[in-house]
C-alpha cells in the first residue's frame, strides 16, 4: 500500500514508513484491526481507522504522528480563541498550576480561552433531559469521538443509544466566535477558533467536513505541540501576574466516573467505562442484552476518561488525582450560560444522528456475510491459532480474513510453513 495515498485531509495520523521497524506494537493495539505489517513496514486501512491515536502512543520509533495544526497558524488571524478540553490544566508539572496553564496560552499568543469545563453543568442537564425524554432508549450512551466512530463501524445496532447532543467543546467554541465578533465588531472569519486537542480523534473531527466539531474548523493543535512550546517557560509563567478565571468544578468532565456521578446525583443509574478493551467488552454486552438496568453510560477510550487521551502527556492516574483535588476547590461563580442559551437557537443542542459505517461488515446481505465467515473460519482452522502476530496481522482470524480477500497468503504464517516442512498436518 502506498502510504502517500493516505487521506491526510481527514485522518488524525500520519505514518513515516522510513522510521518503522515492523515491531507490531501498533498492530496489536489497534481496536479496529486497521493496521498490518507487510515487508517489515506498517500499512493502514484508512476506512477502518477510527482515529483514536492508540497507535501513536504505542509506537516507540516515532513512526506515527498526529496531524496537528501548527501553532504558527494562529498568527494569521486578527483574533484567536483557544478551546481547551477539561483535561488540559492537569497535564503540566506541579509548578504550572491551573492558572499558569492558561497564562501559557496567552503567552503563546491566544487572545481568548474557552474551556469545556465552563459547560459541565450544562452537559449534565442536557443529558438528564435527554434520558428523561427518551424512556424507550436504555442505556443512553455518550462517548469521546473515537468511541462514537467505533460504534459506527462495529456496533451499528447501538447507534440509536447515543445521546445526540452537541459536544461542549463545539458549543463553547461557537459561542466564543460569536462573542468575539460582537465585542470587536469583526466578521466571523477574523476569529480563529482552535481546539487544543487531547485526543487524536478530536483532530479528525475538526478536519472532516462532516465532523462533530464544525465550530472549531480553523484547526486542531495537538496538546503535545502546546506542551513543547510551554516547556522551559515556567519562570515566565510564575512571573505573569494577570488574573485568569478558573472553573475547577467543571474539570470533572476530564474523569468519566465523575461525569457519570454528576448525572447519578440527578437520579439516573449510571456507569463509567474507560479503556478501549473495556469499552469493546461493554458495547458487546449491551448489544447482546447482557448489561441491563442502566439509564446512562459514559464510555471513553482513554484510561480514566479524557485524562487518558492519546495526546495527553501526564500519567492518567496522576492527572486524575489532580482533577479530584481541583474539583473539590471552591472558586468563585461558575460560567454563566444565560447568554449562550439565549443565543443558541437550539435549546437542546440536538445534532444529527450518526449513520452506520459498513467497514467491518463482510457483506450487507446476512446470508452472504455468514457464508464468508464460514469460508474465513475454514482458513482460520488451518492456522495454528496462537495469535502470535508474526505474520503481520493482529491475530489468526485477521490473517484468515486477509487471505480470503487476497491480501495475504497461507505462507505468511511462519508456523504454518514450519509445520509444512516438519510434515505436520492441521485438520
Ligand atoms: S488511530 Fe486508532 S484506529 Fe487508527 S490505526 Fe491507529 S490505533 Fe488503529
Ligand atoms: S509501532 Fe507500528 S509504526 Fe511503530 S515501529 Fe512498530 S510497527 Fe512500525
Q: What is the pLDDT of residues 26-51, one digit of tens each?
A: 999 999 999 999 999 999 999 999 99
Q: Average pLDDT of the chain?
A: 93
3-class SS of residue 39: coil
pLDDT at residue number 1: 38
pLDDT at residue number 424: 63
In the chain, what are the domain boundaries?
A: 1-67, 71-344, 362-427
pLDDT greater at residue 230 or residue 61: 61
Report CA(281)–ligand 2 centroid distance (Å): 26
Domain 362-427 superfamily per CATH: Electron transport complex subunit B, putative Fe-S cluster (1.10.15.40)
Q: How many helices (H) and strands (E) does the chain have?
A: 16, 11
Report whether pLDDT(292) > 60: yes
How wide is the angle at C-alpha 89 spanned by C-alphas 85 and 93, nearest 5°?
140
- The 10 Å Cβ neighbour count of residue 350 is 13
Burial of 366 (0-12, 13-18, 19+ CB in 10 A): exposed
Q: Among 7, 299, 332, which Cα is nearest to 146's?
A: 299
Q: Read off the DSSP letter of residue 165.
A: B
Report whether pLDDT(7) > 80: no
Q: Indicate which residue's Cα is closest to atom 8 of ligand 1.
A: 30
Pairing of strands 35-38, 13-15: unpaired
- The 10 Å Cβ neighbour count of residue 219 is 19
Distance CA 312, CA 92 (A): 10
Report CA(165)–ligand 1 centroid distance (Å): 25
Core vs surface per residue 257-295: b (16+ CB within 10 A) or e: bbbbebbbebebebbbbbbbeebbebbeebbeeebeebb
Q: Among 161, 372, 150, which Cα is nearest to 287's?
A: 161
Q: Indicate which residue's Cα is closest to atom 4 of ligand 2.
A: 59
Which atom, in ligand 1's list, is nearest to the CA of 53?
Answer: 1
For residue 322, give every residue at least 6 positions away whose Cβ sits within 8 Å of its Cβ, in sequence order, or none.
Answer: 90, 314
As for ligand 2, residues whose beta carbon falls within 6 Å of it are: 20-26, 37, 42, 58-59, 61, 63-64
Q: Read off the DSSP letter of residue 350.
A: B
Helix segments in 328-395, DSSP class H: 338-344, 366-381
Residue 347 pLDDT class (50, 70, 90 cuts): confident
Q: Where are the beta strands (DSSP E) in 78-226?
A: 79-84, 112-115, 140-143, 191-197, 219-222
pTM: predicted TM-score of the whole model, two decimal places:
0.93
List the grid coordinates of 359: 467497514
Report CA(31)–ligand 1 centroid distance (Å): 7
Report CA(397)–ligand 1 centroid distance (Å): 19
Measure Cα distances from 11 to 47, 262, 275 in Å.
Answer: 10, 33, 21
pLDDT at residue number 364: 73
Report whether pLDDT(252) > 90: yes
For 204-214, what is the mean pLDDT? 95
List the grid coordinates of 92: 503540566
Report whether pLDDT(116) > 90: yes
If one looks up domain 1-67 in CATH, what number appears? 3.30.70.20
Q: Among 305, 333, 272, 299, which Cα is nearest to 121's?
A: 333
* Ligand nearest to C-alpha 360: 1
Distance CA 84, CA 137 (A): 31
Residue whose C-alpha cell reads 452472504 in the numeric block: 368
Radius of gyration over alpha carbons of the chain, in Å? 23
pLDDT in tens, 300-322: 999 999 999 999 999 999 999 99
Report whether pLDDT(373) > 50: yes
For residue 205, give every residue at least 6 positions away whose Cβ sits within 8 Å of its Cβ, in sequence order, or none.
Answer: 145, 211, 212, 213
Amino acid at each position: 500500500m502506498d502510504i502517500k495515498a493516505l487521506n491526510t485531509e481527514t485522518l488524525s495520523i500520519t505514518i513515516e514508513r522510513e522510521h518503522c521497524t515492523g515491531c507490531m506494537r501498533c498492530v496489536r493495539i489497534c481496536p479496529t484491526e486497521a493496521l498490518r505489517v507487510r515487508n517489515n513496514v506498517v500499512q493502514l486501512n484508512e476506512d477502518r481507522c477510527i482515529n483514536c491515536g492508540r497507535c501513536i502512543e504505542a509506537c516507540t520509533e516515532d513512526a506515527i504522528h498526529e496531524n496537528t495544526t501548527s501553532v504558527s497558524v494562529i498568527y494569521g488571524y486578527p483574533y484567536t480563541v483557544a478551546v481547551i478540553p477539561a483535561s488540559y490544566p492537569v497535564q503540566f508539572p506541579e509548578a504550572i498550576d491551573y492558572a499558569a496553564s492558561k497564562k501559557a496560552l496567552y503567552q503563546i499568543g491566544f487572545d481568548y480561552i474557552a474551556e469545556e469545563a465552563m459547560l459541565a453543568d450544562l452537559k449534565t442537564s442536557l443529558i438528564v433531559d435527554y434520558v428523561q425524554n427518551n424512556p424507550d432508549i436504555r442505556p443512553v450512551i455518550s462517548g469521546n469521538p473515537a468511541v462514537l466512530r467505533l460504534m459506527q463501524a462495529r456496533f451499528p445496532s447501538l447507534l440509536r443509544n447515543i445521546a445526540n447532543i452537541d459536544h461542549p467543546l463545539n458549543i463553547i467554541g461557537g459561542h466564543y466566535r460569536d462573542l468575539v465578533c460582537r465585542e470587536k465588531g469583526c466578521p466571523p472569519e477574523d476569529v480563529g477558533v482552535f481546539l487544543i486537542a487531547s485526543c487524536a480523534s478530536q483532530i479528525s473531527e475538526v478536519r472532516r467536513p462532516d465532523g462533530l466539531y464544525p465550530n472549531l474548523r480553523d484547526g486542531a493543535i495537538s496538546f503535545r505541540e502546546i506542551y513543547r512550546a510551554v516547556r522551559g517557560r515556567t519562570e515566565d509563567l510564575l512571573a505573569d501576574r494577570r488574573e485568569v478565571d478558573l472553573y475547577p468544578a467543571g474539570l470533572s468532565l476530564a474523569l468519566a466516573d465523575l461525569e457519570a456521578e454528576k448525572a447519578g446525583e440527578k437520579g439516573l443509574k449510571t456507569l463509567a467505562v474507560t479503556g478501549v478493551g473495556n469499552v469493546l467488552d461493554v458495547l458487546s454486552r449491551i448489544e447482546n442484552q447482557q448489561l441491563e438496568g442502566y439509564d446512562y453510560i459514559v464510555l471513553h477510550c482513554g484510561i480514566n476518561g479524557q485524562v487518558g487521551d492519546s495526546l495527553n502527556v501526564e500519567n492518567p492516574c496522576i492527572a486524575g488525582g489532580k482533577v479530584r483535588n481541583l474539583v473539590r476547590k471552591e472558586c468563585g461563580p461558575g460560567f454563566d450560560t444565560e447568554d449562550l442559551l439565549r443565543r443558541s437557537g437550539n435549546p437542546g443542542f440536538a445534532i444529527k444522528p450518526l449513520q452506520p459505517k459498513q467497514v467491518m461488515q463482510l457483506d450487507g446481505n446476512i446470508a452472504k456475510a455468514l457464508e464468508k465467515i464460514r469460508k474465513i473460519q475454514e482458513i482460520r482452522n488451518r492456522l495454528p491459532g496462537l495469535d502470535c502476530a508474526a505474520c503481520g496481522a493482529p491475530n489468526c482470524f485477521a490473517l484468515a480474513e486477509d487471505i480470503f480477500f487476497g491480501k495475504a497468503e497461507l505462507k505468511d504464517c511462519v508456523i504454518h510453513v514450519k509445520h509444512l516442512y516438519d510434515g505436520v498436518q492441521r485438520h
